[in-house]
């Protein structure tokens, strides 16, 4: 549509500017004034993102003076539309030039834009539709949070991160052997929890010497900007907030800082979603005298929904301390050390039953009796019938076996609270061999100059 001075147009990309008026047409450019905001825009005449505003008979239009009329007919003169109708206040027949329309008219609602003919080109709609579909696919992916980090795709790390990261308020002990990537697993879990909205405020407690190492790892590998808190930072942040832990969402601090009662009380009051404790084997515990470090983590774990404990040597301070760390994660299940030892004695029966379920052969009578004692006859009868039946689809039987395995995990042993990988079970690491290469050694000896008498 050709442009003419005084015509009214609306910007497709900035509809909040209101109704614009063409004030200059020169060469290949057109200038539009938006009186509602007092701003000018210059567009190319050939590709201007503008939509002509023309009302139809029956529409109600408003003048810049505030009165309105219902359009009975419209005419055009020199490219300007004239609206004819009855004045809303005087009842007289009047004519309103489009130049005198109300400047504050906006088409923000979809139906208003549709009726006004403010429709984008089809190819632009197609691009936006494809982008929205891709965003939906990414947001609903099971791997959301595991795709962005700069880490190698090592199977055992990805499996643990996917298994734990998709839980709400995960409470887990990561006990892989040294060098198998517990920090990477924790970072993947943290990243997934943040991106999926399951967590927003995270506190990481580490030994004092590892604070900056964790800071660098979280930033370099996961693009997570944590803040390191020490006593000086807490004093500095006190000017902005009575509780310094409220000044940041992602915080790394040392256990030594939280040994102070004031800082511990502030941390307890800070509404965290996830707690991460590195080197958790230092949390020494006995029933008579738990250490101060253990008491600090215990107090936090009671008020924080999600807890991740990291240690490569869970039994370093004794089996009793290992039980105490499990107790931090699930105090209702691990409530008594003697009962925990008694349960450990039956792990052999659990392992035999799990091995029978993991195979493809039919279950023996001994295996069925063992599963009945461990899980209860009423709970396992439907699955047992599927596993033992003839002519049943193999996928259905495998699903029944998996269901019973999950029940064994949840009801006996440490279940899905403890994850531990060893180098013997992880096959992705290459063997390391020592190769000795002889090197020539050159020694330069400088003798002092002898003086001649």
Between 445 and 47, whose confidence is greater?
47
Between 177 and 392, whose confidence is greater?
177
Q: Which of 104-108, 220-224, 449-453 has the lowest mean pLDDT?
A: 449-453
pLDDT digits (tens, 9 = 90+) for 132-162: 998 888 777 777 777 778 888 788 888 888 8
Shared-domain flag, residues 205 and 60: no
Domain annotation covers residue 24 = yes
User: Pairing mode, if any, of strands 274-277 and 306-310?
Assistant: parallel
Give the tokens for residue 339: 């009962």
What's the CATH number where 270 sits? Answer: 3.40.50.10810
Is the torsion defined by CA of 78, 81, 84, 87 positive or negative? negative
Shared-domain flag, residues 281 and 334: yes
Domain annotation covers residue 412 = yes
Domain termination residue (choose one: 101, 119, 137): 119
Between 300 and 424, whose confidence is greater?
300
Q: Is 168 buried (19+), middle (13-18) or exposed (0-12) by CB count in 10 A?
A: exposed
pLDDT digits (tens, 9 = 90+) for 334-371: 878 787 777 766 666 677 777 777 777 777 777 777 77
Give the tokens for residue 6: 């005084």
Q: 116-152 in b/e burial notation, b at 16+ Cβ within 10 A?
A: bebeeeeeeeeeeeeeeeeeeeeeeeeebbbeebebe
Domain termination residue (choose one: 345, 364, 395): 345
Task: Indicate if the pLDDT at residue 131 is higher than 90.
Answer: yes
Shared-domain flag, residues 223 and 202: yes
Shared-domain flag, residues 378 and 330: no
What's the CATH number where 79 sits? Answer: 2.30.30.930
pLDDT, residue 453, reads: 44
Shared-domain flag, residues 149 and 288: yes
pTM score of the predicted model: 0.62
Shared-domain flag, residues 144 and 22: no
What secondary structure, in 3-state letters, does the chain show? CCCCCCCEEEECCCHHHCEEEEEEEECCEEEEEECCCCEEEEEECCCCCEEECCCCCCCEEEECCCCEEEEEEEEEECCEEEEEEEECCCCCEEEEEHHHECCCCCCCCHHHHHHCCCCCCHHHHHHHHHHHHHHHHHHCCCCCCCCCCCCCCCHHHHHHHHHHHCCCCCEEEECCCCCCCHHHHHHHHHHHHHHCCCCCCEEEEECHHHHHHHHHHHHHHHCCCCEEECHHHHHHHCCCCCCHHHHCCEEEEEHHHHCCHHHHHHHHCCCCCEEEECCHHHCCCCCCCCCHHHHHHHHHHHHCCEEEEECCCCCCCCHHHHHHHHHHHCCCCCCCHHHHHHHHCCHHHHHHHHHHHHCCCCCCHHHHHHHHHHHCHHHHHHHHHHHHCCCCCHHHHHHHHHHHHHHHHHHCCCHHHEECCCCCCCCCCCCCCCCCCCCCCCCCCCCCCCCCC
The span from the CA of 65 to the CA of 96, in Å, is 11
Between 296 and 177, whose confidence is greater?
296
Its domain, for residue 407, covers 347-422
Shared-domain flag, residues 190 and 331: yes
Average pLDDT, the chain: 82
pLDDT digits (tens, 9 = 90+) for 283-340: 888 877 888 988 999 999 999 999 999 988 877 767 778 888 888 888 888 878 787 7
Domain annotation covers residue 427 = no
Shared-domain flag, residues 203 and 78: no
> Would you say 7 and 20 are in contact if contact means Cβ atoms under 8 Å apart?
no
Shared-domain flag, residues 368 and 338: no
Domain annotation covers residue 295 = yes
Domain annotation covers residue 381 = yes
Domain annotation covers residue 1 = no
Domain annotation covers residue 409 = yes
Between 40 and 13, whose confidence is greater?
40
For the CA atoms of 293, 295, 296, 302, what is the dihedral angle to 10 degrees? 140
Q: In which residue are the tokens 């999950």 written?
A: 406
What percentage of the chain has pLDDT greater than the value 90? 20
Between 449 and 78, whose confidence is greater?
78
What percentage of the chain has pLDDT greater than the value 70? 87
Shared-domain flag, residues 143 and 265: yes
The span from the CA of 324 to the CA of 331, in Å, is 9
pLDDT digits (tens, 9 = 90+) for 380-405: 777 777 777 777 777 777 787 777 77
pLDDT, residue 396, reads: 76
Domain termination residue (choose one: 345, 365, 392): 345
Shared-domain flag, residues 66 and 183: no
Domain annotation covers residue 443 = no
What's the total number of domains in the chain? 3
pLDDT, residue 272, reads: 93
């Amino acid at each position: 549509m050709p442009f003419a001075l005084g015509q009214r147009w609306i910007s497709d990309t900035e509809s909040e500017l209101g109704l614009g008026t063409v004030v200059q047409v020169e060469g290949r450019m057109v200038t539009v004034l938006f009186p509602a905001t007092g701003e000018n825009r210059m567009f190319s005449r050939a590709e201007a993102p503008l939509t002509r505003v023309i009302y139809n008979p029956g529409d109600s239009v408003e003048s810049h003076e505030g009165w309105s009329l219902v359009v009975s007919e419209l005419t055009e003169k020199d490219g300007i539309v004239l609206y004819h109708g009855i004045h809303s206040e005087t009842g007289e027949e009047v004519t309103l030039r489009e130049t005198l329309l109300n400047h504050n008219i906006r088409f923000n609602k979809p139906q208003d834009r549709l009726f006004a003919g403010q429709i984008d080109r089809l190819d632009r709609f197609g691009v936006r539709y494809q982008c929205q579909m891709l965003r939906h696919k990414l947001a609903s992916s099971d791997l959301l949070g595991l795709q962005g980090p700069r880490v190698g795709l090592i199977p055992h790390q990805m499996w643990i991160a996917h298994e734990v990261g998709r839980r709400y308020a995960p409470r887990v002990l990561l006990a892989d052997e040294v060098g198998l990537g517990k920090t990477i697993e924790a970072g993947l879990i943290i990243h997934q929890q943040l991106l999926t909205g399951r967590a927003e405020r995270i506190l990481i407690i580490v030994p004092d010497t590892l604070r900056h190492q964790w800071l660098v790892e979280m930033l370099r590998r996961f693009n997570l900007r944590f803040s390191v808190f020490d006593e000086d930072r807490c004093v500095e942040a006190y000017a902005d907030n009575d509780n310094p832990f409220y000044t940041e969402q992602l915080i790394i601090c040392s256990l030594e800082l939280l040994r102070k009662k004031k800082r511990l009380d502030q941390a307890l009051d800070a509404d965290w979603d996830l707690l991460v404790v590195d080197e958790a084997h230092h949390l020494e515990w006995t029933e008579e005298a738990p250490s101060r470090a253990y008491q600090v983590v215990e107090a936090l774990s009671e008020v924080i929904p999600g807890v991740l404990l990291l240690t490569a040597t869970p039994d370093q301070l004794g089996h009793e301390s290992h039980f105490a760390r499990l107790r931090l994660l699930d105090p209702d299940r691990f409530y008594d050390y003697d009962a925990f030892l008694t349960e450990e004695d039956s792990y052999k029966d659990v392992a035999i039953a799990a091995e029978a379920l993991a195979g493809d052969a039919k279950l023996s009578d001994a295996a069925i009796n063992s599963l009945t004692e461990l899980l209860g006859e009423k709970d396992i009868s439907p699955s047992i019938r599927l596993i033992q039946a003839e002519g049943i689809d193999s996928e259905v039987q495998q699903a029944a076996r998996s269901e019973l395995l999950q029940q064994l995990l949840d009801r006996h042993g440490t279940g899905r609270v403890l994850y531990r990988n060893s180098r013997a079970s992880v096959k992705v690491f290459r063997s390391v061999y020592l190769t000795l290469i002889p090197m020539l050694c050159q020694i330069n000896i400088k003798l002092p100059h002898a003086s001649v008498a």
